[in-house]
Amino acid sequence: MPTASAVCGRFASDPALTVPAAGQHVGNVSVYLCVIVSELVLAEFIWFGASRRGATSVRDLIGGRWSSLKEILLDVAVAAGLWLVRTAVATFMSFIMGP
């Protein structure tokens, strides 16, 4: 797992691979593909670890289905709250560090 992260870090930090010429976006494809692969590897790693402990399905990992509208609204509220916190932190860091 650390190896996949190191490879993606290498792609993300190499200007020759990620900084395209003016008006071109070809360098981004390798970074996007690397991130997709690393996310899939991470998901497989989590599933493998969970299956060793008895949780064998994705439903077991994510907690199953919503049984009421209240549960759906609670999840939406938690997501909105986390999004607001993330936005506040990003704004604060942008203010402190500058553009």
Q: What is the pLDDT of residues 56-99, one digit of tens each?
A: 677 766 777 888 999 999 999 999 999 999 999 999 999 898 76
Q: State mean pLDDT over 22-42.
A: 77
For the residues of 19-60, what is the DSSP string, one character each?
-PSTT--THHHHHHHHHHHHHHHHHHHHHHHHHHTT--SHHH
CA distance 3 to 8: 9
Q: What is the pLDDT of residue 7?
A: 62
Percentage of residues of the chain with pLDDT beyond 90:
27
Count CA within 13 A, CB hemisphere, residue 33.
8
Percentage of residues of the chain with pLDDT beyond 70:
66
* 5-9, 34-38, 48-52: least confident range: 5-9
Structure tokens, 42: 């991470």
**Predicted confidence (pLDDT) at residue 25 exceeds the cutoff of 70:** no
